[in-house]
Each structure stands twice: as C-alpha cells, then as structure tokens.
C-alpha cells in the first residue's frame, strides 16, 4: 500500500514506455494505494527534446497530447476507482518567461488535481538529459558546478514563488550529472544558503517534498533530495511523500525497499500521501502514516 506522486507513460511522453493503463494496472498489481499520473506539461518548440523533434511533434501536437492525457487519465481514474486512488496532474517546466503563459493556459483549460513542481532547465538548457547538455548549461552559468547549482536553485525559487506547488519534484536533481553527485553540496556555502531559502519557503506554504527513488536507479547513493537536505527540512517541520518517478512498468515501485531504508536512516517519522479521489483543481487533501505503519504494509513482503 505505498504511494507514488510522480509517473510518466510512453503513451504521452517520448522518453517513457508502456501505456498509461499499463502503468495503472502495474501499480494495482503491486499493491499501490495511491498512484499519481503526472505527465510533463507541453513546452514551446524551442524547448523540444531530440526525441520530440524526431517524432515530428508540433507545439499544437504536444498541446493535443495534454488534452488526450486528461481524457485517458479521467477514464482510468473512474474505471479503476475501486482498486486504486488515482491522482491526475502535470509535472511543470520552468524554462523561460513564455513558460508561465503555457502553465496558465493549462490551468485554465483542464481540471486536474495538482501541479508537481519541477525544474529541468537552467538558462533554458536541460540539466538532467545527458552529460554534454549538462556541460553546456554549466558553461553558460560560469563554468563550475557550484555556479550552476546556485542558478538552478534561484530558478527553482522563482517557480516556487509563482506556483506554490503542493508537491515539489526531485528538489536536487541538479546534482545528477555533476562531477560529484553524492557530495551533498559540501563546501558550497552559497548553494546551501539558496537551498535553505527554498526549503523555508516550501515549509511556509505547506508544500511537500517528494522522496524520489529514481535517483537510486540512476546510480546515486541517495534519492532526491539527499540526506543533508532532508535533515535540514526536518528542522523546519517539513513534510515528505514518496515517488518512484516511473517511466515504464518495470520502474513502478523500483528501489522502494532502499527508499524505505533511507527514510528510516534519515529519521523521517511520517510519510504523507494524497487522499483525495475527486478531480478538483489546486491541491488534493493530504494525510499521513507513520513510517513504522508504512513499514508494516503488505507491499514490502511481495515487492523486494
């Protein structure tokens, strides 16, 4: 009975696999209580990824894909309502000033449960796509990981202030392709000032940090965010949720046993999850379980 508040499908995301229904069916088979469908919001053509260009997508085509996603997500939510709690949302982008207008259009057009607040670009360049692209962003930021980290957390702060997303996605994904991804930003005092500022703001409006297990399958020692960030957020009475950031059926719940170990080792006492089951724009109602209650769920006996 765990939860994931972040997922993608190959039906609506070019770098994912499997249909949306297959993702839902896998979550049910693995005993998930809550599974959020959070496809990426549409971007302007200048920000298309290579696979989207190869698929000959247009801006209109990506917007139509969002329409189709909502239609299918609502169908699945209703069809499987007796078996799983499905949340419907979009993962944000925060790339350039025009992105905000796309976010507003999306909010006005579709009713959905929540925005997952994420940043994937710095200086309009993707920072978690591949190493050469990351290095381009780093060069534009001044040539060092430290400077790029600072610019990333500044961009994230802008997104947080404008959107106040109920769930904040992979807060420190910027470290994924850096030279020392497991260093927990040690020695970077300026970076830590910005991390603290962002966490204080998230705590001030009641936002929830996702503990994102995808970092583990990508070879990092800790999920997003790293232990040091989690411990700092705990001093602010910050709240946490669980996500697998799955992009295929074989990633649903991947590394959740390791994630639970991290949660316990870090000292986190409660895990929050979206309990609402109605399509209401804004923020779903969140409730919590103690970590020890989560650890006793049947899921762990069948999903190692």
Considering 38-52, 259-273, 280-294, the range whose residues carry the highest mean pLDDT is 259-273
Quickly state the pLDDT bin for 60 (edges 50, 70, 90): confident
Average pLDDT over residues 108-115: 90
Q: Which domains does the chain have, with CATH numbers?
A: 3-302 (3.20.20.140)
Q: How high is the mean pLDDT of the chain?
A: 93
Quickly state the pLDDT bin for 85 (edges 50, 70, 90): very high
Alpha-carbon span 19 to 10, nearest angstrom: 6
pTM for the predicted model, two decimal places: 0.94
Residue 278: predicted pLDDT: 47
Alpha-carbon distances, residue 87 vs 143, 176, 212, 259, 275 (angstroms): 40, 27, 17, 22, 9
Residue 64: predicted pLDDT: 87
pLDDT in tens, 159-216: 999 999 999 999 999 999 999 999 999 999 999 999 999 999 999 999 999 999 999 9
pLDDT in tens, 162-173: 999 999 999 999
**What is the distance, to the nearest Å, from the Cα of residue 153 to the centroid of all Cα atoms in its chain?**
15
CB 118 within 8 A of CB 92: yes
Task: Determine whether 60 is exposed, middle or buried from the number of CB atoms within 10 Å of its CB (0-12, 13-18, 19+).
Answer: exposed
Residue 111: predicted pLDDT: 84
């Amino acid at each position: 009975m765990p939860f994931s508040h972040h997922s993608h499908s190959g039906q609506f995301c070019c770098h994912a696999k499997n249909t949306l229904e297959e993702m839902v069916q896998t979550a049910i088979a693995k005993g998930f209580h809550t599974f959020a469908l959070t496809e990426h919001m549409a971007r302007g053509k200048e920000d298309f990824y290579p696979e989207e260009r190869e698929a000959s997508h247009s801006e209109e085509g990506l917007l139509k894909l969002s329409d189709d996603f909502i239609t299918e997500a609502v169908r699945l939510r209703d069809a499987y309502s007796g078996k799983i709690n499905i949340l419907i949302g979009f993962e944000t982008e925060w790339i350039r000033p025009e992105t905000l207008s796309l976010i507003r259009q999306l909010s006005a057009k579709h009713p959905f449960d929540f925005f997952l607040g994420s940043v994937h670009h710095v200086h309009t360049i993707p920072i978690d796509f591949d190493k050469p692209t990351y290095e381009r962003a780093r060069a534009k930021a001044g040539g060092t990981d430290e400077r790029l980290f600072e610019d990333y957390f500044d961009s994230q702060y802008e997104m947080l202030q404008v959107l106040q997303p109920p769930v904040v996605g992979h807060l420190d994904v910027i470290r994924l392709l850096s030279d020392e991804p497991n260093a927990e930003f040690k020695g970077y005092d300026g970076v830590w000032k910005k991390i603290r500022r962002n966490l204080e703001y998230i705590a001030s409006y009641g936002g929830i940090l996702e503990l994102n297990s995808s970092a583990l399958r990508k070879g990092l020692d800790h999920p997003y965010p790293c232990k040091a960030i989690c411990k700092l957020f705990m001093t602010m009475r910050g709240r946490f949720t669980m996500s697998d950031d799955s992009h295929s059926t074989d990633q649903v719940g991947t590394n959740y046993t390791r994630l639970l170990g991290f949660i316990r080792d870090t000292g986190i006492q409660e895990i929050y999850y979206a309990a609402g089951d109605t399509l209401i724009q804004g923020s779903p109602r969140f409730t919590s379980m103690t970590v020890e209650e989560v650890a006793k769920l049947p899921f762990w006996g069948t999903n190692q």
